[in-house]
Chain A
Amino acid sequence: MPQRVFITGFGIISAIGIGADETLASLKAKRSGIGQLELFESALSNIPVGEIKKSASELSELAGIEHNAHNSRAFLLGLIAAKAAMQMAGYQKGYNRMGMIGSTTVAGQDLLDTYYTQMLDGTLVDAEMHRAFTGADATEKIAITLGIKHNVTTISTACSSSANAIMNGVRMIRSGLADTMLVGGMDSLARFSLNGFNALEILSPTGCRPFDQNRNGITPGEGAAFMVLESQSKAACKQKYGEIRGFANFNEAYHQTLVNPDGAYAEAAMRKAIETAGLQPADIDYLNAHGTGTEANDLVESKAIKSVFGDHLPHISSTKGFTGHTFAAAGAIECVFSLLAINNNLALPNVGFSNPIDETGIVPVTETISMKINNIISNSFGFGGNDTSLVISKAE
């Protein structure tokens, strides 16, 4: 049996709230955070988004730091979530056997957007700003702020980034390289990603509708979530909010952006995650889907779910109707949602659903269900065919 790894703290910020309490209240009340883009100018401002209605200075205040032009929005979101996770786990700062895995796709793109031209023409000469253009800077500044020195990395595998950060945090502890790992992801809305997904023609004009027959694309969102993972001995005398019990990562090796229609590796990721958890598909009570709301993802994911679970489907939902797709942060945000589900005995609802997909007929949870939840599987599938599943269990 591999060493067990527990979650002793978590922090979250997204369009549906700051911290666990606000988030849980929104989930229970089916209060979506998707709405109008307000905080920056864009030709695409008519596209609904999952935006956190806080300015940079408000976020700085929440993060407990001075406002500074060199801080990317993703860093601020990440720091807020990471500090909350550390505090919950009883850490003022890091120690020798603590590492950190951050993850992001576009951290720093907001600064790039504002200052790149000036940096290029030389009207702004600022080494710190140049560092802040790159995602690793967000992780590194969080690590330095929190006094984490060893084994710091940033993972960037598109929309599965933070699921991979969580998986690798567990692997670091099991390998004996660390006893405690701060893991998670952060991404902010940026003109860059809005325009990129618009160019790919996958933005929903109405707000995403995961698993609905009439779904019409993704809704970009922003947010961050971090967790403190600890070895069994480190977690022994602490409150344990859950356990990362199984995981798997596969690559479809099919296409840069298109999902392989056969869903073989989405299926393989779920099967192996369940298997490495020492469980059977029937042990899974709730499935938090990737469920982006695109035509291809939701169909292929539905088929893969049916292949894994047969006729005995767990309760299923995508929570992207609440937050939008928070890209690199999605896996960590949805892992925190899963912890809230486990600790409050809830299956979470799927906002935006009315009619099942003809081909698969999957009906997700539409109203919060109170039930005992022992095991959850959470899917994160990224560009480049990067498919990760995590099994999150009640800490017994």
Chain B
Amino acid sequence: MKSEEELINDLKAQIIEALSIEDLTPADIDADAPLFGDGEGLNLDSIDAIELVLLIEKQYHIHIDDPRTRRTILASVRAMAKFILENQKE
């Protein structure tokens, strides 16, 4: 099982790939910055949210049932990592 920090680094690279954010490197992404919201952090939108849900589902085999929980799960890269660690099967 990976540590939270290791997982955060994996996720940053996966996010850049999934959302084709060509102008950033993993080092440019602050793990605690909000992913969504006007002018904040990566400034992602609802299509990105769908892509991130797919990323978690495809890469980590975790299904997010309730769309209302997405905002919390996808709040930041760290939030994503914590959610994955909590829900990943041994």
Q: A residues near B, CB below 8 A?
A: 199-201, 255-258
Q: B residues near A, CB below 8 A?
A: 45-47, 50, 67
The SS class assigned to the B binding surface is helix
Task: Give chain B residues whose Cβ lies under 8 Å from the Cβ of A257.
Answer: 47
How far is it, in angstroms, between the C-alpha of A200 and the C-alpha of B50 when the chains are bound?
7
Q: Please name 10 pairs of A and B residues whose Cβ atoms are closer than 8 Å in the assembled complex, sorted by A.
A: A199-B50, A200-B47, A200-B50, A201-B50, A201-B67, A255-B45, A256-B47, A257-B47, A258-B45, A258-B46
Minimum CB–CB distance from A146 to chain B (whole Å) comes to 40
Closest A residue to B47 by CB, please name it.
A257
The SS class assigned to the A binding surface is loop
Can you name 8 extra interface pairs (CB under 8 A) apart from A199-B50, A258-B46? A200-B47, A200-B50, A201-B50, A201-B67, A255-B45, A256-B47, A257-B47, A258-B45
Minimum CB–CB distance from A81 to chain B (whole Å) comes to 34
How far is it, in angstroms, between the C-alpha of A256 and the C-alpha of B48 when the chains are bound?
12
How far is it, in angstroms, between the C-alpha of A201 and the C-alpha of B45 when the chains are bound?
14
How far is it, in angstroms, between the C-alpha of A352 and the C-alpha of B1 when the chains are bound?
50
Task: Give chain B residues whose Cβ lies under 8 Å from the Cβ of A201.
Answer: 50, 67
Closest B residue to A201 by CB, please name it.
B50
How far is it, in angstroms, between the C-alpha of A199 and the C-alpha of B67 when the chains are bound?
13
Minimum CB–CB distance from B56 to chain A (whole Å) comes to 15
Minimum CB–CB distance from B10 to chain A (whole Å) comes to 24
How far is it, in angstroms, between the C-alpha of A10 and the C-alpha of B36 when the chains are bound?
48
Minimum CB–CB distance from B67 to chain A (whole Å) comes to 7
Task: Give chain A residues whose Cβ lies under 8 Å from the Cβ of B47.
Answer: 200, 256-257
How far is it, in angstroms, between the C-alpha of A102 and the C-alpha of B45 when the chains are bound?
34
How far is it, in angstroms, between the C-alpha of A199 and the C-alpha of B49 when the chains are bound?
12
Minimum CB–CB distance from B74 to chain A (whole Å) comes to 14
Residue of A201, A255, A257, A258 ringed by the most chain B CB atoms within 10 A: A201
How far is it, in angstroms, between the C-alpha of A256 and the C-alpha of B47 when the chains are bound?
10
